[in-house]
């Protein structure tokens, strides 16, 4: 990995045949699309710890870092640089998901992975890991 890579973590929470998504709004990036709970990794932060933090901030749930499993990792080349995206899955959490960032998320929904308006690279990942 070079210094030009940025790190992001994504959470795949499943309930039956659905996945938890948030409708992006007010971010300037992919607004109007359904995305997974996610976020940037802070300097010096462990990946799993970043996922625990983002889950608490964005959807109000508590995760045990030891219960997270890396489902896949992808590299994306964007206009903001190269990104290394780590997708985690988790079977257990505490609390009920709520919208913790209404200024950035218009709402949460449990959707099938093939639903319309899911961010394209997220949809591709979900097809691969299903």
Residues 6+ apart with CB under 8 A from 129: 12, 71, 72, 87, 89
What is d(CA 50, CA 129) in angstroms, rounded to the nearest whole number?
21
Total domains in the fold of the chain? 1
What is d(CA 49, CA 41) in angstroms, rounded to the nearest whole number?
9
Q: What is the mean pLDDT of the chain?
A: 95
- Would you call 47 helix, strand, or coil by DSSP? helix
CA distances from 90 to 13, 15, 51, 82, 120 (A): 6, 11, 11, 26, 22
Cβ atoms of 108 and 98 within 8 Å: the answer is: yes
Residue pLDDT, tens place only, 75-97:
999 888 999 999 999 999 999 99
pTM for the model: 0.95
State both tokens at 101: 């960032």
End-to-end CA distance of the chain: 27
CATH number at residue 73: 3.90.79.10
Residue pLDDT, tens place only, 43-74:
999 999 999 999 999 999 999 999 999 999 99
- For 93, the domain range is 5-129
Alpha helix ranges (H) inside the chain? 47-59, 120-129
State the CB neighbour count (10 A cutoff) for residue 128.
11
């Amino acid at each position: 990995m070079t210094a030009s890579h940025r790190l992001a973590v994504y959470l795949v929470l499943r309930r039956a045949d659905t996945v938890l998504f948030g409708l992006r709004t007010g971010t300037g990036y992919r607004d109007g699309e359904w995305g997974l709970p996610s976020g940037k990794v802070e300097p010096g932060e462990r990946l799993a710890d970043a996922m625990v933090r983002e889950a608490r901030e964005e959807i109000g749930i508590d995760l045990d870092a030891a219960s997270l499993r890396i489902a896949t990792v992808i590299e994306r080349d964007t206009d903001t640089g190269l990104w290394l995206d780590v997708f985690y899955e988790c079977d257990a959490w505490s609390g009920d998901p709520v919208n913790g960032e209404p200024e950035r998320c218009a709402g949460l929904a449990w959707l099938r992975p093939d639903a319309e308006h899911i961010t394209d690279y997220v949809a591709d990942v979900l097809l691969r890991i299903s």
